[in-house]
Structure 1
Amino acid sequence: MTIESIAQKVQQGERLDESDALALFLEPDLLAVGALANTVRERMHGDRTYFNRNMRIEVTNVCVASCLFCSFAKLEEGAPGAHTMKVEEAWRELEMRMDDPPSEVHIVNGLHPGLPFSYYEELLRGFKRIKPDVHMKCFTAVEIHFFAQHYKMTYAEVLTRLREAGLDSLPGGGAEIFHEDVRKRISHDKANADEYLEVHRVAHRLGLRTNATMLYGHIETFEHRVDHLMRLRKLQDETGGMQAFIPLAFHPDGNGMKNLPAPTAVDDLRTVAVSRLVLDNVPHIKAYWVSMTPKIAQLGLRFGADDIDGTIVHETIYHAAGSRSPQGLSYNELVRLIREAGRIPVERDTLYNVVREHPKSALPENAVKVRDRKAERHLLPVLP
């Protein structure tokens, strides 16, 4: 399969198959792959690029799973570095930000065997008491599966009770790589691919929107990535409930795969581009600045991504694995990143309703700074 024949399919709006997807991962001309993805991105969204005011909270890192790639989890309460917040401590994280409140609280945790299910229900209710209109995007499919097993409920029962307590949507984490050859090596003791997809299927049936992810750049092959994307596309054909896909770059520091190199910028951009081209039925592709760094995420907006995520405020999972990205970005920093990429910044809520659309900048901010410096050069001393 050649890039020319794939380009013809893309121009005609035809769906790409597995051989096309693999060819795109193997294509040496990265810019050609990126240009095709950008064509699709602009066909769907024009120059619009989405972001939101969100904050991350990890209420516990105690986890019964032993994923090789994880630098965040601790196997038991009381272990060095283990933490579990009281619900009041978690609520305080939002209370402290009510002068400039987020529209979304994003909660992802370890699989803690010692907490009652009521802990999670009370957690959600408390956030809604503080800010009734805050969107609670909480608990990965892996967590929902764990709750179902641990508390002896069905997925539907877990999701229904959490929704009644304030759950609004599910994040996409925990997908890792679906193929069994990889999954049994890197995350053998948590929800498998079928269980992950079934949680999302049930959530969609209940009217909950979800995201999905793929952890790339470790021991998987390109064939494994293609298999992963195709399984997500098939689920989306069935349910239509997935609103965004987030490629997550592997970070090696402090975990069981620390001897592996992290993916390169080329791999980051290629994975974003192929995701956009293959997942033709998923509305949004994120360039997640925490895993890619803000600079690579900014480039990703020209390689198929139409979303750069949000302010985040305080991320700990990737930073435990050595991420050098900041723990949060300000609203204005996100607007600047998007504008300098030549895109239109659009503040959204979690469900992609537009909150505010900013005008497209006629000139990138850095260029304005250079122009101003030139205008003021006569005020500076002459350097030897």
Structure 2
Amino acid sequence: MPTEAQLIAEFGASKMTVHRALQELSSSGLITRVERVGTFVAKLEAPTPERGKIGLFLPTNEGFLEIKLLAGIREAAGDDRQLVLYATDNDPVLEAEMLTKAVGEVDGILILPTGHPRVSRRLEEINESVCPVVCLDREPTSAKLPSVATGNYEAAKAGMEYLTGAGHRRIAYFGLFAMEMSSLSDRYRAYHDVMTGIGVEDPTSLSRFIEARDSADFFVELRLFEDALFRLTSGPEPITAAFCVNEHYLGVLLEVCHLLPPDVRERFEIVSFCDWPSLSFPSVRTHLIRQDARAVGRLAAAKLCRAMAGEKLPLTRDEIPASFEPVPFDPNPFEPSRRAFLFDPGAGGVEL
């Protein structure tokens, strides 16, 4: 580094200011001062896969998806690496606050992002200049970051093609309008592509974007689904099948399927992404798309550990295939032994 005299001349600062600045840099371990030799920039060791803190940003640590992700992350990170959990509740404001808090506290970040554009840009800045970031399960559509996710488009396309192959042409879509997240945008894109491929000119007319609500507002959400289902099954061309973006929408839809006209209900089918464990379904044939969230978490954590050890990760997405589980036709779908309720409004949960 330049000498104190050279720094004073270059920046026009006083001797005391330059001396104090160099002392602070030395105390912070950023430079090394050797008497009668000179001042040198300290060599900083990058974190290795065996040490360093990982900041884990999840909406909650209690959902089925999050539990599976966490299991895979722990497998790849090992017991020696500390995980610091930041629960964002899918709130971009809270997410931004926690990112600010995490900078300086952790050596790498794994995040299930909200996808908000402003927070996404902040994630890009952190990944470029502060510490490595890897996105879990989804990536913001407005940012370029290393990520590991389910192969949502291919899985959704397989489910939709199963329905069209079974003869369905009027297929409704139930989901959340949050196209800033790749997981949801990929699923809707697959729905839209398959529907236009069979000649449906305007798939949006069969799409219902309903905001997910917590258990306290369950009956409000139930009324919204009842109204949507009534409108979609009224008229000369009722829907005969539905695609649900996740298990939440599947659960509410199944609760209102008793509103289907008997002739429609007999042949009605649903395809849905679902992270819940094995369930039995009431009255309607339901085919599930299962994500391997554990594998997603494992691969994402392995990538982050490599980045924390100094590897430069490409700004690309790795995908883990999902499995599609069609069920065979049941000639007696309404037998009492097959009935099970996914939602218990009183408890606000699911019966497993």
Quick check: which has more Rg, 1 or 2?
2
Which of the two has greater strand per residue?
2
